[in-house]
Every structure is written in C-alpha cells, then in structure tokens.
Amino acid sequence: MIRQRYWGSEEGLSRWFRHQESQLPSRSNGKAFSIIDVDFVIHAYKLCEDGVGTREIQAIMKVEFKSRNGEPTPGQLDTLWKDNLGHKTDYYDCAGLKVRNFGWFVLSVNGTCPDDSDVMRWGNIVGTKSACIEWVPINKDRLFEILRFDVDPRTLKRRWYRRHHKTEVRYEISECELGFPVALAVKHSS
C-alpha cells in the first residue's frame, strides 16, 4: 500500500496508514489500495489583461514534490495520472469566475529543497493509454514563474490565459429606410 519512508518524518495519519495492511492491502486478489498524500495545492488569483479587457481568472495545480532526484513510484504515478484524466475540462465556472485546473505535476530536486539544489526538474504527467512524465530541466527563476502561473505549467508558454475566440463589438454607421444614419452594433469574433 504505502512503501516504507526513507527520508524525513511523517504525520500521524500517514504512520497509521502504513500499519493497516490487513484492512487496506496493497497487493491482493481482487482489490488493492494506493494511498498517497497531497504535497501541495497551489491556488492563484490573477487579473489578466488581453485585447478585450481585464478579467479575473483563478488557477489551480497540484504538485508532488520529490527530493534527492526522486520520482513517483509506478503506483503513485498511476494514481496521479488517472486523477488528471478525470478532469474533463480545463476551465469551469465557479460562482461566475473562471477557474482553470491544470492537474498534477512533479517537482524533483537533487537536494532537499530548491535552495540547496543545483538540479531541478519539472514533470508534466501525460499519456492517453498509460502514464508517463515529460521532464524539463528548470532553474529557480523558472520555478517561480510556474508557481505564480506566469507560464502554463504544462507547456511553459506565456499568456496561457488569453481568450482564443475574442468577441469585440464594433459600431458601423448605416442608412435606414428613411435615409437617416443609424449606428449598428456588430459583433466580431476572432
């Protein structure tokens, strides 16, 4: 179920789970359980400006942290990947606000934290038939850009929040049947 911990300390519930193999078996005929802790959920509130105007967007991602060049175990990766697949849409409406859920990512460092590491990797969990991680080497500045959602955590490209189908209202002057000029509102979509 939960492999033995080699580094650091654990909280009471994690310790309790590790001793429940008889009730929550990790290997069994017909059923097995994989229990992982959630390292970090990052929720940002951003005011984004584009050609149409300013709007508030909220962004959420979950980060599994691995020190000493660690990587998720196969069972852990499978669970994170399946949770990512469960998000049917990137955006959802929450009380009139747009919220974008980017899903799970992995941050792996060669030390114990970014400050004592000279090697850092950002992992995007992908795959359609099985899980895999696309690793990208990053530095601390890039990590801050990712954590602030200055870049898309999946692609590391800027301006992920731009509207792809902007609508703009333009007014055109037209002549009515009686010969008077009138302003008509015309919507244009890009």
Residues 115 and 25 in one domain: no
Residues 120 and 147 in one domain: yes
Residues 31 and 43 in one domain: no
Residue 166's pLDDT is what?
A: 58
Residue 181 included in any domain: no
- Count: domains in the chain: 2
Q: For residue 32, is pLDDT > 50?
A: yes
The residue range of the domain holding 10 is 1-35
pTM of the model: 0.75
Residues 58 and 118 in one domain: yes
Helix (H) or strand (E) holding 123: strand 120-126
Residue 2's pLDDT is what?
A: 44
Instruction: Answer with the residue of higher pLDDT: 157 or 55.
Output: 157
Closest CA to 122 of 109, 110, 113: 109
CB 10 within 8 A of CB 2: no
Q: Using CB atoms within 10 A of its CB, is residue 62 exposed (0-12), middle (13-18) or buried (19+)?
A: buried
